[in-house]
A and B are shown apart, each in its own frame.
Chain A
């Protein structure tokens, strides 16, 4: 058997005393948490341990004794043995260290042998002579890092006692993390007990933290009141009318507003975060909200300095005009013989004139709007005070509004094309004397009447010869539409990135890499033939990729959309594609 003793690094040079810690059930290992120095009164020590046990919920016990003899302190051995009778334990560790030597020596006394014979001595110096002795491995750990770190993958909730108990490493991490009350006893406290363990360097910073905590309570109350007001406004009957609701669900600004409301609702809950997950979620949301707002104010600062708004307004209108002009030229080109393709002249002319008239309408609309554009931009820019995401969403909505004519063209083209494709496919079946059997979901043969055949063939011929013209119009307008969708997609992606990027977790990973642990690695500290094996436990930080993956705030883009094959099929058949197709129900 190998006995593993997890020993805190801060107790390496502690004065002699009692070892406080915990035996891990099932595993043959012990965790040392603190050292209580001489002199003490045993009753007080027992009381203290009970108190700590009640506070932390960890089964604490006296593991054994620690001796670091200094000058003039020698004959302690008998005294240490007596101690083991005062604190009755199954096994009693006697760890001692000589000044100037790196290795520890450890003796394990079992209760059965304690009374009768001399203790089974596991002194490493006499290692070779004994057969049944236990080997001891010292694992040194950094108490602060282990206390603060969170082992991944995170286990939530109460572990089921029927299943396997958590691994040894997880138990070590849990024990150290939950015995935090033990570490509150300060070096400078005047109490009956003096202990050595990890101690915070200073409490000055924690005063600020406490003040912030106090301040956050009224802030949360205010936020909740505002949210309630906002929810009441949103639930007003005016907004549930048909057109407003549909428009609201389509406009990315409204969607962003609902996301932000939800985030604020999460932040403003008065109860403290229950687990690690919830804490990280809250912190991530808070940090990304702060960063977003800061970026938004930066944008405002740039926009309203030197009248950039006016400049934008003066470039936007000519740009829209220019796009309309380009479209007109494109249509003129299509109405001729585009790329040498032979199209049906009559249909070509009809479609071209229809679209030209549409552009004409659009241009007059733009000119009607032009005096108000600057005002709209000025007030719209104010939305950036809520955050950069709002400004980007508003920009995306404005792009959608300004390219409405392209969307219309696309819809007309797609509907026409879709109609033709479906008509052709069913008439092709008629052409071969078949029909689609809806009940059996297959193609059956069918005998048609003479007039059905005649009209069907007539229509089939007409549709077949008109298909290239329609397909060309559809192709051109779909390409235009895809360009707009791509641009909006980039905007949405950036908004989504700001919304969901776990900034807090990533900064934790960068600055305090031990806080998010994926596992540990051991390094050999000293392995002299005479002494026990000393290992140093170091914490493996979680890789950045999995940090982002684990702590990402769930938004719509986390869910799979149409695959590429489905998209291409939809494009081919002529079904409409929308950029705003997203899951409305968010379930984790």
Chain B
């Protein structure tokens, strides 16, 4: 009824036949050919198969052969996200030590946001997408909500973790940033994944509440919004529309992350560089190498698969 069902389900041990005394391996009658059906009475036991059994064995079905540089290019997104986190932490370190004023950060963020928004619009307007595009008014409304809520809550957020010890805050932030990296939807980052974005925001609230003033908190949160929520959207757009630029942007982000962190802690920068190298170069190499050893077998013993699309039944 629901499309083709693989014939293996007929292989079940329905006791339709008369129970015989002979076992499954006893010699069959050579005159009658065996057929793989259960609705017919045959002189074979139910679990009988002939030598054609393994003819239907299939190996590594639907295997895709990866090319090393294509995989590296895709893995660049992961490395890029890793260095985004590093850049955010670097900015926070600068803020905490007072090397970066919140006004400066705010102006920079605003500029980046306006530039990014323009780029985003430019990339969108080339081809009309299927769904209804957001109007400029809606974007402005969202921006107003972000800024006003952050600005209004920043004094509260400032005092929020006052009584919690610094180590706890750091541990919580580290855990949340890790959760962000793990749960980030690398394949489709454009509507940001709830858990990843929430974890990142939670971590940034925790970190921002350690800063000396309310304006610092506000600037840090705006920056976090830019880095964790808006930047992946732009990058996704870039990957779709201009793949050649996308690689350059990824490389630039990685270099920026390592460079920024090296100005604060050399060890951290080395670790980040190692992580980036392993994620972008080593892991794809391993993937391509290990694919040679892949050995999947499929055959009539597998579970039945429903091939047909169910959607037209529902209408």
Contacts and interface: CB of A to CB of B under 8 A. Distances in A.
Nearest to B233: A450
Nearest to A347: B159
Interface in A339-361: 342-346
Contacts of B225: 454
A203 interface: no
Contacts of A430: 194, 198
Interface in B122-170: 142, 145-146, 149-150, 153, 156-157, 159-165
Name, among A342, A455, A460, A465, the residue most crowded by chain B CB atoms within 10 Å (CB to CB). A465
Contact of B145 (A343, A346, A431, A455): A455
Interface in A457-475: 457-458, 460-462, 465-466
Nearest to A337: B163
A431 B162 contact: no
A433 B145 CA distance: 20
A569 to B, nearest CB: 28
Interface in B222-238: 225, 229
Contacts of B160: 344, 461-462, 465-466
Interface size class of B (residues with CB under 8 A): 20 to 34
Interface in A419-433: 430-433
Nearest to B143: A451
Nearest to A346: B159
Name, among A448, A454, A457, the residue most crowded by chain B CB atoms within 10 Å (CB to CB). A454
B237 to A, nearest CB: 15
A384 B195 CA distance: 66
B186 interface: no
B147 to A, nearest CB: 11
A456 interface: yes
Contact of B146 (A432, A451, A456, A466): A451
B159 A345 contact: yes
Interface in A46-69: none
B194 A342 contact: no
Give the dominant DSSP class at B's interface: helix
A450 to B, nearest CB: 6
B178 to A, nearest CB: 16
B259 interface: no
B161 A450 contact: no
A461 B146 contact: no
Interface string B195-206: 101100110011
A461 B191 CA distance: 22
A453 B194 contact: yes
A465 B164 contact: yes
B201 A458 contact: yes
B198 A431 contact: yes
A337 to B, nearest CB: 8
Contacts of B164: 342, 465
Contacts of A458: 149-150, 153, 157, 201, 205
A462 B156 contact: yes
A455 B149 contact: yes
B205 A461 contact: yes
A449 B194 CA distance: 9
B234 to A, nearest CB: 13
A338 B149 CA distance: 32
A447 B161 CA distance: 30
Nearest to B163: A342
Contacts of B165: 342
A430 B197 CA distance: 11
Contacts of A465: 160-161, 164
Interface string A431-444: 11100000000000
Contacts of A466: 160
Given A342-B164, A462-B160, A432 B194 contact: yes
Contacts of A342: 163-165
A509 to B, nearest CB: 65
Contacts of B191: 447, 450
B142 A344 contact: no
B192 interface: yes
Contacts of B198: 430-433, 453, 456-457, 460
Nearest to B144: A451
Contacts of B162: 344-345
Given A454-B229, A455-B149, A462-B157, A448 B194 contact: yes
Given A451-B142, A453-B194, A457-B202, 11 more contacts: A344-B162, A345-B162, A431-B195, A431-B202, A449-B142, A450-B192, A451-B145, A453-B229, A454-B145, A454-B225, A457-B198
15 contacts: A342-B163, A344-B163, A345-B159, A430-B194, A430-B198, A431-B198, A432-B198, A447-B194, A453-B198, A457-B202, A458-B150, A460-B198, A460-B202, A462-B157, A466-B160
The 3 closest A-B pairs by CB, nearest first: A433-B194, A342-B163, A457-B201
Interface of A: 342-346, 430-433, 447-451, 453-458, 460-462, 465-466
